[in-house]
Amino acid sequence: MMNRNTILRPLQPGDLELLLLIEQNPENQRYTTQEHPSESELKDFLHSNHDYFIHRQYRYVIDVDGAGVGFIDLSDASTDFKTANTGILILPDWRHKGIALEAMQMLVDHAATLQIEQLYAYIKPDNLASIKLYEQAGFLLWETLDEFQLYSLMIQSK
């Protein structure tokens, strides 16, 4: 692994280009049930309040040496059940470098500080790269649904 500084950081106004590149790429649509947001919707999202405890979701920018290379999310969080869903997407030029696993490990550590005890991921069965990533991060296949496989990770208290 090369020497690099990888962090998860909040969205910033300068991240609009990265949001557009990822969210409006038709290739990425095959792995989600979400519709492509418009540019104005992305601008509104970028400038909205991103309080995890209010909105029960948060998008982190995966930043490598000062460059945004993807996103990792916590969503559908339940403070009652102490669970949240997660998703990740890395730009193609940055894949296969260990960044996704590094970011996932950082997210799991951060989730523990939010008192999340279990993370979930809905993954399409043909998304072999994501399945491999989540399994490497310790997620286990929990349930097979119509279009997705549900993976789960119990978080150990630190």
Class of domain 6-117: alpha beta
Residue 69: band (very low, low, confident or very high) from pLDDT cuts 50, 70, 90 = very high
148 burial via Cβ count (<10 Å: 0-12, 13-18, 19+): middle
pTM of the model as a whole = 0.82
Residue 23 has pLDDT above 70, yes or no: yes
Mean pLDDT of 61-86: 91
**Domain extents in the chain:** 6-117
Choose among 123, 155, 129: nearest CA to 141: 123
Strand partners, 118: 83, 154
Choose among 5, 135, 132, 131: nearest CA to 63: 5
Separation between Cα atoms, residue 78 and residue 85, nearest integer Å: 9
